[in-house]
Structure 1
């Protein structure tokens, strides 16, 4: 159980496996902040992976909110379920599906997180635009330059506003036999925008 109001649950608190990605805690904290969540919101977590965004967003929106966590990978859905149980987050519907098939069936959203999409990010952003309520936020984390370009292209074509692009490079300390060194993680670009 996470007994704090701040986001950024340490990565080591989550159940993890090598084959299922996790949004690292510092990047996750920024993404949660960019979504501007409120109590009672409806949220999608597309490409939920290990469920770290799902857990943290679930805590932020409270019991009156609802999250739809979608992943095409059965292992990711199972791992997200384990993490939801560990942190006592019950306001989530886990969906094992191709997001492009499931998004049209979901209710309107106050915030949408898009993570790992297997190269379909541009199409998923387009589908999500139809589901965003006016004033709702979309937050997309990307690591590939090609994905960044495709996402920005579609965001501007859709007319989303308040577009914010940041790149985050995190280094974490690691003890060695002679002291402490900083190990760099891969840069992540976070794009966030508002439905007008």
Structure 2
């Protein structure tokens, strides 16, 4: 199935899923893609790619001239990302199995970097990514835990980043019940975005 729209926000239900592999939900993903300010031909990293939903959306945005490098330490995530890239006919992405701290250094310089589910290494990964990001390039980091947010903001403050923006997104989705429709809240996600000076 091909996404035949230019706007991001592919419905989560369209992606192949696996029980233990996380997905960046469609509303959060659409905001993250917009914060990256992608252009046709850009080189993008998706660190902690999970299901590959951000990789798919970024690949569609940067079009055939662009490149996406999706990285995850979980073999199940790598397999799932490959399946989703194929499903959406995204042919400009490479999927890399391994720890980003080992793999990022060998990649071409990036115009934009997404940092997602990285376990406890997020601050270290942001430090490494700063070296690989072109001047004027964008980094977009999605976090759930307050401790990770504090660590990332500290790193961004020490490194060559400017225009740091912190946006917390809280989404509620409808669900039909036997008596009507109710709204179910999802966990809030904090999106940190910044430009490399």
Q: Which runs of 5+ in 2 are unaligned?
A: none
How far is the alpha carbon of 1:180 from its aligned partner?
Answer: 0.2
**In structure 2, C-alpha distance between the alignment counterparts of 1:71 and 1:17, rounded to whole Å:** 15
Q: Deviations over 1:151-178 (max 9, x none)?
A: 0000010030010000000000000000
Q: Which residue is 1:105 aligned to? A: 106
Q: Which runs of 5+ in 1 are unaligned?
A: none
Q: Which residue is 1:37 aligned to? A: 38
Alignment of structure 1 residues 19-168 onto 2, 5 Å? 19-168=20-169
- The answer to whether residue 4 in structure 2 is matched with residue 3 in structure 1 is yes
Q: What RMSD over aligned residues (CA atoms) do the two structures have, in Å?
A: 0.4
How far is the alpha carbon of 1:118 from its aligned partner?
Answer: 1.1
**In structure 2, C-alpha distance between the alignment counterparts of 1:102 and 1:81, rounded to whole Å:** 18
**In structure 2, C-alpha distance between the alignment counterparts of 1:162 and 1:39, rounded to whole Å:** 23
Question: Structure 1 residue runs of 4+, over 4 Å off?
Answer: none
SS of 2:44's equivalent?
strand
How far is the alpha carbon of 1:18 from its aligned partner?
Answer: 1.1
Q: Which residue is 2:183 aligned to? A: 182
Q: TM-score, normalised by structure 2?
A: 0.99
